[in-house]
Amino acid sequence: MTVTLITGAGSGIGREFARRLAADGMAIAAIDCQPEGLSQLEAELQGQNRQVACEVADVTDGPLLLEIVAALEQRLGPIDLMIASAGVGRETSGLDLRMDDLQAVIGVNLLGVANSIAAVLPGMIKRRRGHIVAISSMASYRGVPRMLAYCASKSGVNAFMDGLRIEVRPYNIFTTTLCPGWIRTPMTAHINGPMPGLMDVDYAVGRMLHAIRRRKAFYAFPASLAWRLRVLRWLPRSTADWLIARMLGRMKISRQG
């Protein structure tokens, strides 16, 4: 049986991945820092006679994550697919820069992805097979006001995965970087402002699963938003800055993300 490790599995995108992949017959190794969401997921999947094992862990704690993943593999078997879905979003503005918020966002969204990969990659290299998936964002395309840390963290994920992809290719290990637009999740519930192309989580995860199954190296959607953001890169910076400011307006992001 294929074993899938999912971080951030207690809610939002991670939880939907767990449900969908369990329905496909995969064993689910679920990690989240919030025990309540994990307990609900475990009860749901066990009620459907799915194979699932859950552990509470913070992805920013690398040594603990190594121990937790080893324990999950003892229960379910070697990890075949890892989806790094844990993420946070907080307002980080250069006009009121709170370093604890910046460190929290980059810690989970970038270092947490690296810790998750470090926990599974040695085993995948030894077995010469595996698939590593990182949930990035279209926010990785450029810096956005009041989302400085979030954009930086997701840009870092893209760069990390680009380099990793080339290194692991000789070991028959695949990587996929997913860059969705706005998705209706508990994280975006704390955003007040325009979210063009906002998608329901089940639809978005369906799109991402299609890309994973096709072993796409990089997938950004919806295409219309991806195209607009790519165009911004070709414009003079002054013009692109004006368009971004106009599009975002008075967007506010809660510290609760």
Q: Which residues are catalytic?
A: 150
CA separation for the pair 162, 169 (Å, rounded): 11
CB 7 within 8 A of CB 112: yes
- 196 vs 30, 111, 180, 224, 226, CA distance in Å? 31, 28, 12, 10, 11
Q: Residue 236 in 3-state DSSP?
A: coil
Give strand pairing partners of 72: none
CB 154 within 8 A of CB 139: yes
CA separation for the pair 219, 233 (Å, rounded): 18
Token code pair at residue 145: 């006001």
DSSP string, 34-68: -HHHHHHHHHHHHHTT--EEEEE--TT-HHHHHHH
CA separation for the pair 142, 55 (Å, rounded): 35
For residue 92, the 8-state DSSP code is: B
Residue 71 sits at φ, ψ, to 5 deg, of -65, -40
For residue 10, the 8-state DSSP code is: T
Token code pair at residue 68: 């937790």
